[in-house]
Structures are given as C-alpha cells and as structure tokens.
C-alpha cells in the first residue's frame, strides 16, 4: 500500500499539508490544501484547472532532474542514466513516444530504486524541486494557475512523475494538489512496484474523473492544460482544453477542435525543429555534469 503521511500545523493559519490518499478510490492523489470545513463559498465551487507538468508548467522533464539527483547520490549508476537517456532521446527522434515506451522506462527506474528509503526520496525531491525545477517554472503558466485559484477554483498538477515529487511541487506553488504515479511502499522502502497505473495518457483522464467524483467537481466546468498529444484523453474530458507550447499533433487537434493555443516559445518553428536535438543536448549536459561531480568526489 502507498504511504503518504499526514502533517499538520498548530499555527492559526494552517499551512498547505499533504494527507494520506487511502480509504477511497483516489489512489493517485495527494491533497495539499483541502477546502476549509464549513466554508460553503469554497466547498461548493464545482470546477478545477488541471495542468500537465513537463513542458507545460516547466521547461523540460521533472523526472530527468530527479534521476540526475539519484545518480549523484549513488542510487542510479551512470550506465542506468545513459540507458534511460538513450531510450528517451530515441523516442523523441522517432516521434514514437507513447504509454508503452514511457512505462518501460518508468518500470526500469522503479526496479532500480527498490529498497530505497522513502524518507530519503522525499528529501531528494525537496532538493530537486527547490534547486532544479523551481527556476524552470514558466511564469505565464504559473500566473494562469494563480488566476484560477483567485476565482475560487481548485488547481491540480497531473503528471507521470512520482507523486512525492508532484505533491511537493504543488505545495511549493501553493496549488490544491497533485495527481502522480505512486510507487508501492513497504516498511518505509520502495518495493519496485506501482500502485495502480502510470499516471500517463488515458490514466490522466481516469485520474481527474476519479478526483471530480470524490470532490464534487463538474468536469464540464473544468479546464485542462497540456503540451502533448499524449494528454488528449485528459483534454477531451473537460469542458475547456488549452494547448500550451503544443507538439505538432496536439497543435493539429487544437485547430480541429477550436481549442485555445498558448505558445510561450521563442520562434515556434525553431523550437519545433530543435526539440530532438535539445533533448539529446540536455541529456549530454547532464551526463557531463555527473562525470565531473564524481571526479570531484
């Protein structure tokens, strides 16, 4: 079973907190800031905004930065990182990234962290969010999320990244919560298995539907944001879909359905053509960093 520990504050103004996702069908959720009990004005708002994370809320892939931190701390080897990087880059070059490919990479990663303490993973996630991910948050997208919050809507991150990482990022941003991939935990350590499915593709649509049912949200009144055609199931599940820095397939679908497109890239054609090369270059830079770090150690 997944362990998501509850924390609370004794101060007069409660701080955002995570609560255990158990006892309901919500196996993928971390609630960061639930509606205040008895606050009818907030409790009966039936809508939310759902944001993909990688290349939507931030530049790049959140899991890459976590993998780099795991390698730096000796949890993953250079061979592991190179293997993951090669798979990711080859999928990008061929344009064949889909649930099966993503799942194979994540499954390999899960097996490698089997036995790793959850507390240490959470500490690593704090390090990664504060040092690597926060500076890469897209300010225009952050402002969009803040506007949703200002109107009384819930705001959720929805990502294939580990729920520990996603929940912490949501907390740092002051959002309502996060839906992420949950790794099974026993005796305070990871088992190398998943709880439920990878939060990717159709699972995102199923996840927000579960969340809507649990929290009384009207999906027709909800908004979803993503950069990738992999998230079309989620985008089609809500009343308002918005493409952010879309890949070519999602851009076509957005035109077909008349969805809003927000492009914060500089030179859209250049960005599109440079994506595979940038992915490979980013991987290469990360590997050089790791080699240098090990030499210094």
What is the predicted pLDDT for the residue at 245? 94
Closest alpha carbon to 192 in 281, 255, 121, 98? 121
Q: How many CA atoms lie within 13 A of 110 on its CB side?
A: 21
- Catalytic-residue membership of 54: yes
Which residues are CB-contacts of 141 (< 8 A; sequence separation ≥ 6)?
A: 51, 56, 57, 225, 244, 262, 264
Is 297 one of the catalytic residues? no
For residue 44, what are the contacts with CB-CB under 8 A and spacing of at least 6? 216
Tokens of 135: 């500076």
Catalytic residue, chosen from 52, 227, 231, 247, is 52
Specify the pLDDT at position 86.
57
| 163 and 181 Cβ atoms separated by less than 8 Å | yes
Identify whether the C-beta of residue 147 lies closer than 8 Å to the C-beta of residue 223. Answer: no
**CA 123 – CA 131 distance, rounded (Å):** 12
Nearest in space to 167 (alpha carbons), one of 54, 31, 68? 31
Q: Residue 87's pLDDT is what?
A: 55
Q: Do 232 and 213 contact (CB within 8 A), yes or no?
A: no
Return the structure tokens found at 222.
């909800």
pLDDT of residue 16: 34
Give me the DSSP letters along the chain: ----------SSSPPP--B---SSS-TTEEESSPPPTT-HHHHT---EEEE--BTTTBSS-HHHHHHHHHHHTTSS-HHHHHHHHHHHHHHHHHT---HHHHHHHHHHHHHHTTT-BHHHHHHHHHHHIIIIIGGGB-HHHHHHHHHHHHTT-EEEEEEEEEHHHHHHHHHHHT-SEEEEEEEEEETTEEEEEEES--SSTHHHHHHHHHHHHHHT--GGG-EEEES-GGGHHHHHHSSEEEEES--HHHHHHHHHHT-EEE--SSSHHHHHHHHHHHHHHHHHHHHHHHHHHHHH-
* Per-residue tens of pLDDT for the chain, all 297 residues: 433 333 333 323 333 333 323 333 344 444 444 443 344 444 455 899 999 999 999 998 998 898 888 888 877 766 666 655 555 555 444 444 555 555 555 555 667 788 889 999 999 999 999 999 999 999 999 999 999 999 999 999 999 999 999 999 999 999 999 999 999 999 999 998 888 888 989 999 999 999 999 999 999 999 999 999 999 999 999 999 999 999 999 999 999 999 999 998 865 443 343 343 333 433 343 433 333 444 444
């Amino acid at each position: 079973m997944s362990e998501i520990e509850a924390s609370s504050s004794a101060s007069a103004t409660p701080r955002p907190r995570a609560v255990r996702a158990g006892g309901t069908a919500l196996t993928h959720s971390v609630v960061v800031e639930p509606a205040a009990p008895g606050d009818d004005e907030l409790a009966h708002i039936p809508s939310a905004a759902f944001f993909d994370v990688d290349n939507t809320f931030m530049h790049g892939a959140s899991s890459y930065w976590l993998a780099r931190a795991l390698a730096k701390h000796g949890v993953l080897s250079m061979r592991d990182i190179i293997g993951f990087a090669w798979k990711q880059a080859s999928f990008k070059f061929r344009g064949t990234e889909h649930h099966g490919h993503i799942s194979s990479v994540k499954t390999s990663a899960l097996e490698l962290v089997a036995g790793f303490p959850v507390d240490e993973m959470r500490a690593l996630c704090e390090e990664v969010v504060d040092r690597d991910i926060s500076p890469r948050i897209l300010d225009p997208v952050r402002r969009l999320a803040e506007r949703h919050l200002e109107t009384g809507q819930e705001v959720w991150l929805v990502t294939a990244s580990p729920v520990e990482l996603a929940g912490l990022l949501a907390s740092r941003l002051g959002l309502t919560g996060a839906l992420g991939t949950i790794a099974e935990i026993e005796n305070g350590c990871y088992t190398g298995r998943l709880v439920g499915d990878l939060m990717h593709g159709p699972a995102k649509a199923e996840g927000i539907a579960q969340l809507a049912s649990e929290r009384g949200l009207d999906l027709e009144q909800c908004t979803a944001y993503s950069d990738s055609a992999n998230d079309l199931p989620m985008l089609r599940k809500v009343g308002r879909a918005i493409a952010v820095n879309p890949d070519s397939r999602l851009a076509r679908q957005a035109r077909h359905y008349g969805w809003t497109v927000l492009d914060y890239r500089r030179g859209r054609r250049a960005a599109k053509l440079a994506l595979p090369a940038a992915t490979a270059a980013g991987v290469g830079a990360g590997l050089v960093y790791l080699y240098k770090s090990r030499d210094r150690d």
